Amino acid sequence: MSMLTQAGFAAALRDGASPTPRGLAAWNGPRPDRRFAVYRNNVAIGLRQALASRYPATERIVGEAFFAAMADAYVVEHPPRSPVLLAYGEDFAAFVAGFEPARELAYLPDVARLEAARGRAYHAADVIPLEPAKLAGIAPDLLGATTLLPHPSMSVLRSPHPVVTIWAMNAGEAEPEPILDWNGEDALVVRPRMTVEVHRLGPGGATFLTTLAQGATLGEAMLAAAADDDNFDLAANLALVLASGAFTAIRSPGGHHD
């Protein structure tokens, strides 16, 4: 099999409208279309399943048939470039955002973004989260200049839609019911140990956590969050920083770190 033959086989696999490649045979005659279709079908179904297992709430929202059509369209434009399928579909949300038939569901791309973040968190490196007592041990006058190391699994997502509520209702985490307050929700996604957790963030929380995760000091992050939202609640957000396991170590200004 030359490289050229393999290229033709690969191209025909990916294009359902193209004829069965030449040079193939079966014991009972030439043009084994149905036999070739087995491979074509395996490729399509396998990738559809890979996406469905990473985006189950998205699939639940639109239904299996709609999701399959959306996944097939995605696969044509963004075939996997690596055999490590657990990371496939990283940019699926951006595709969903531009997928014309799903345009009415303006919140759908953010649900997919949340699921992508959950998938990354699931497979992220394992690091033991910061012990709350460690932060309590820092002298109050040094606290503002303290920086924290983010957990490899943590990420923050902002949405103009109630993305956490919608996701929870379609992931079996909350009873489905009409959403009366259609407000934006920001989320912290983190896997402190073996379970991926999604926290709904209060006003300014996304700015606070994002700024901290980028290496800013607690003082800088607090100022940025307060500037972003007047209702930023420092005590509640500090409590979340410690309870969620979103950070793993402290660096106090004296150069000491832990």
Partner 1 sequence: MNPSHLPRRAGVGFKPEHFTAIDQARQPVGFFEVHAENYMGAGGPPHAQLSRLRADYALSIHGVGLSIGAMQPLDRDHLARLRALCGRYEPESFSEHLAWSSHDTVFLNDLLPLPYTGQTLARVAEHVDEVQTALGRQMLLENPATYLLFEESTIEETDFLAEVARRTGCGLLLDVNNVFVAATNHRLDPRAYLARFPLERVREIHLSGHSETVDDHGAPLLIDSHDTPVKDPVWALYETVIERTGPVATLIEWDNDVPDWPVLRAEAEAAEALLQRAASRRAA
Q: Out of 77, 194, 231, 235, point to the residue binding partner 1 (CB under 8 A).
A: 194
Cα(116)–Cα(91) distance, integer angstroms: 8
Site string for partner 1, 56-85 (x = CB under 8 A): -----------------------xxxxxxx
In which residue are the tokens 């084994």 written? 32
Instruction: Provide the minimum distance between the beta carbon of 1 and partner 1 in the complex, in angstroms, as a whole number.
Output: 5
In this complex, which beta carbon is closest to partner 1, that of residue 66 or of residue 122? Answer: 122
Interface with partner 1 (CB under 8 A), residue total: 49
Query: SS3 for 81-129, per residue?
Result: CCCCHHHCCCCHHHHHHCCHHHCCCCCHHHHHHHHHHHHHHHHCCCCCC
> Reduced to 3 states, what is the DSSP secondary structure of residue 149?
strand
Q: Out of 76, 106, 123, 227, point to the residue binding partner 1 (CB under 8 A).
A: 123
**Diameter of the chain by CA atoms?**
85
Q: Which two tokens stand for residue 47?
A: 């990738």
Site string for partner 1, 135-154 (x = CB under 8 A): -----------------xx-
Instruction: Provide the minimum distance between the beta carbon of 63 and partner 1 in the complex, in angstroms, as a whole number.
Output: 21
Cα(247)–Cα(94) distance, integer angstroms: 28
Applying CB under 8 A, which residues contact partner 1?
1-3, 5-7, 9-10, 13-14, 23-29, 31-36, 38-39, 42-43, 46-47, 50, 79-87, 121-126, 152-153, 191, 194
